[in-house]
Amino acid sequence: MSLPPLTVRLGGYRLFGRLAFLFLLLCSILFGAVVGLLFVYGVDLPQIQELETYRPDVITELYADNGQAIGTFALERRILVSYNQIPPVLHNAIIATEDRHFEENWGVDIPRILEAAWADVRTGRKSQGASTLTMQLARMLFLTPEKTFRRKIEETLLSLQIERHYTKPQIFTMYCNQVYLGHGNYGFEAASEFYFSRPIQQLTLPEAAMLVGMIRGPEYYSPLHHAKRSLGRRNLVLRLMREDGKITRQEMEAAQREPLGLDLNYPRNDIAPYFVEEVREWLERKFGPQAAYTEGLRVYTTLDPKMQRAAQQAVSDGLHAYERRHGWQGDLQNVFRDHLGTIESYQARNWDRPLRVDEYTTAVVTAVGPGAADLKIEDDRARLMPADFAWTGFRSPKQFLKTGDLVKVKIQAIRGDVAQVTLEQHPRAQAALVSIENATGEIKALVGGYSFAESKFDRAIQMRRPVGSSFKVYLYSEALEQGWSPFDTIQDIPFTVMSGGVPYSPHDYDGLYEGRITLRRALAASRNAAAVRLAMHVGLPNVIAMARRFGIQGDLPDYYPLVLGAASLSLLDHTSAFTVFPNGGVRVEPHFIRRVTTYDGALIYEAHPKVYDVISSQVADTMTAMLEDVVNIGTGEGAKALDRPCGGKTGTTNNWTDAWFLGFTPSLTAGVWVGYDNDAISLGRGEQGARAALPIWVEYMKGALKGTPVEQFPGVTPLEQLAAEHPVQVDTPDNAPAEYAPARHLPAPAPLPRTTGGTALPGPEQPGG
C-alpha cells in the first residue's frame, strides 16, 4: 500500500531537518575545534610586535685607513638590502618558484595547501610544501624547521598576523635578508657576493635562478659540492619563470645553456690576519661578543694596506733567506706516503686564490729527472732547474726530491698556466714586525708570525723576549738628560762589578775592547762594557725609571745586564718607545682603531690616544743624531740601503736566540724581531740583529715609503758636523768600522772624575749588536 503524498512530503522535511541539524552540529564542532586549536596553539606564539624592533644578525666589517675592507666578523654572514635594491630578475625568480600568488594571498594559499595535503595523503608521508613566502618567513624567524601538524598551524597563524601588520614589500625584503643560502651566507646579498663576487643588482638571469634554486635545500643544491644537482635545480627555476610568464622561451633556453659561472669570494681576514685578530679581541672587550658578531658594527682602523703588504712580504722574504743560509732540511710531506690523496686530487690551503708574483706557495712534485723536477700548483705548472735550487748544495733534484713531495716555492713570474719558481723551504724560525706612524701613534702594519693559519700567537704583542742592545737607547737617553754629551768619553775595557750579589764581567760577543771611546762611538758600535760602565754613573734605578717613561711594561730587574737587554719586552711597546726620538720627545699611545659606528652610522667610539712628554726635544734630537750614527757608521749600516735619513738600533741576545732591529724615519717607525718560539733554540752563530732582522726592516721600509717624499729630521744636526767642535783623545775613532777593536783585554784603569771634551770617564750578556 502506498503512502499518501502529504505523508511522503512530511517525511522528507523531517529527514532534511535532521541532516541540517547534523550539518550545523558538525559545523559547530568544527568551529569549536578550530577555536580550540587557535587558542591552544596561539597561546605560546611569539608576539609579532617583536618584528618592529627585530634586527637580524649582521656582519661586523673592518676597514683600512683608505676605506678598503680588510675583514669581517659574524655568526651569520648577512648583508642587509632594502626593497628598492632587489633587482626585478631576482624578484621574479623568487615569486615564480616559491609563491606565485604572493601579491594576492593573505599569507596562506588555501588551494595550494589542499593540493599539498592531498598529495601527502596519497603518498602517506609529509613531503609536499605549500608554504607561502610569509609562512616561510614566519618559520625562519620564530619556528623550527621540523614538519609537524602543530608547527604548520603555528606557521599559519603567524603568517596571518605578519600579513596584518606589514606590507608586501616589507615582508618580501625581510624574506630576502633572512633566507639561508648555504656556506654560512644568510640573505641574497651575502650569497651573491660569496658565489659571484658581485652585489645582487649585478646578477644575471642564470645567476639569480641558481641562488633561488638553493632555497629549497642550501646544502643539497650547493654549487660547490653538488654542481650537477645545482645546475638542474637552476634550470627548473628558469622553467618555472617561463611558465609564470616572467621570461621568454628564448631567454630561458639561453640561460639554461650557461654554466654555473661561480666566482667565489671567500670571506677572508688574510690581508692582515694578526691585526684583525687584535681588533676582534678589542671589540669583544669593549662592546661584548654579542655586539662584535651580530650587530653589524663598522670599524674604521688605522691599517695601511700598502704598508701591510710590504710588511708581510718582508717578513716572509727574511725568514726564507734565513732558511737558505742554514741549508736544506728535507723532511718533506709526500701525498702518497702521508695518505694525502693523489697528485691530481691534492689541494693546498692557499690554492683557493690566483697565483701572484713573489708569493710563497705549496707545489706538488709530479716528476723528477736528473736535471729538473716538474711541479703542479693546482692548475698551473712549473719546473725546477738547477739554478732554482742551487742554495741546497745538490746538483740534481733526484738527490733530494721524490714524486709526490710537497715543496715550498716562490713565484718569480707567471706566463699563462706556467709559473717560474725558485725552491724554498718552510721556515722553522719566526718573525714579527710592527709599524707605527710617529705623529699619530696609529699602527699601520702588523705581522705576528710567518703564518696565521699555522699559529695565531701574535709575537708582535703577546710575546715578550730579551731585546739585547736595543735596550741601550733608554740608558743613553738618561745619560743625555743628566747632561752627558755624545762626545764625552768612557772606557770600553774589561772589568768586574758586583751585580745582584754576584761578580759580573760585561763583554762583547767578539771578546774585544776598544779602550777609550766617545759615547757616540759606544752606542754606534754597541759596546757592552762601555754601556755597563755608563750605567754605573747614571744609576741603574734612573735607567729603569727612564724606560718606564718611554712606556716600557713588565719586569725590569735591578741588575746591570738589564742595560744590555736582559729584560723581556713586547715588540709593540719597544717600537712605540722608539717613536719618541723622531717625534721630538713625545710618545703617542699606539692604537689600532680610529672610530666605530653602528650599522646605521651612529658613532659609538672614537680614538683619543694619550700623549706623553717623555724627554725634552733637545735630548730627543741628540738621540736621533746618535741613532743616525748607528746606521751611518755602526752596527746598523745595512739600513743605509734605504737611501733616506733614518736611525735605529740593533739587538742580539745571548747565544743568538733573539735578533732585533728597531728604526725610524721622520714619519714612520718599525720594529722587527726574529727568533724561535722556543727561546732555548739558537738562530745560529752570527745571526745578529744586523743580519737576521735588519734586512726585513729595510725591505719593509722601502715598500712602505715607496713613492713618498724623502724627509729630513727637523732640528737634528748630524754629529759628524759637530765633531770638529769637540776634539777628543780616543783609542778608537768614531767612524771606525763597528767591528774595529784594537785594544785587547786591557786592565781596568783607576777611576777618574767625569769631564767633557776629551777626558776619559770612569765606569764600567752578551752579544750586543
In angstroms, rounded to a whole number, what is the distance separating the alpha carbons of residues 192 and 186? 10
Q: Would you call 765 a catalytic residue per the annotation?
A: no
106-133: b (≥16 Cβ within 10 Å) or e: ebbbeebbeebeeeeeeeeeeebebbbb
Question: Which amino acid appears at position 117 of this protein?
Answer: A
Report which secondary-structure segment, H or E, holds 282.
helix 273-287
Q: What nine digits make up the cell of 534?
A: 755608563
Residue 618 neighbours by CB distance under 10 Å:
13
Asked whether the beta carbons of 373 and 365 are under 8 A apart, the reply is: yes
- Out of 469, 499, 526, 576, pick the active-site residue: 469
437 strand-pairing partners: 668
Q: What nine digits make up the cell of 271?
A: 690581508
Asked whether the beta carbons of 376 and 388 are under 8 A apart, the reply is: no
Q: What nine digits make up the cell of 390?
A: 742551487
Q: What nine digits make up the cell of 378?
A: 693546482
- Out of 61, 98, 163, 514, pick the active-site residue: 98
Read out DSSP for 449-489? SS-TTT----TTTT--EE-GGGGHHHHHHHHHHTT--TT-E
Sorted by sequence, the CB contacts under 8 Å of residue 566 that are 6+ apart come out as 466, 557, 559, 765
Beta-strand ranges (E) seen in 28-154 are 60-63, 69-73, 77-78
In angstroms, rounded to a whole number, what is the distance separating the alpha carbons of residues 635 and 736? 11
**3-state per-residue secondary structure call for 575-602:** HHHHCCCCCCCEEECCECEEEEECCCCC
Q: Would you call 98 a catalytic residue per the annotation?
A: yes
In angstroms, rounded to a whole number, what is the distance separating the alpha carbons of residues 333 and 326? 20
* Helices assigned H by DSSP within 671-739: 694-705, 719-722
* Sign of the C-alpha dihedral computed for residues 540, 543, 548 and 551 taken in this order: negative
Q: Which residue carries 717613536 as its cell?
A: 579
Residue 267 to residues 73, 297, 740: CA-CA distances in angstroms?
Answer: 9, 16, 54
Select from 298, 269, 271 the least CA-distant residue to 283: 298
Sorted by sequence, the CB contacts under 8 Å of residue 436 that are 6+ apart come out as 442, 443, 444, 575, 576, 579, 590, 668, 669, 670
Select from 304, 264, 287, 309 the least CA-distant residue to 63: 304
In angstroms, rounded to a whole number, what is the distance separating the alpha carbons of residues 191 and 482? 65
Q: What nine digits make up the cell of 395?
A: 746538483
What residues act catalytically? Answer: 98, 469
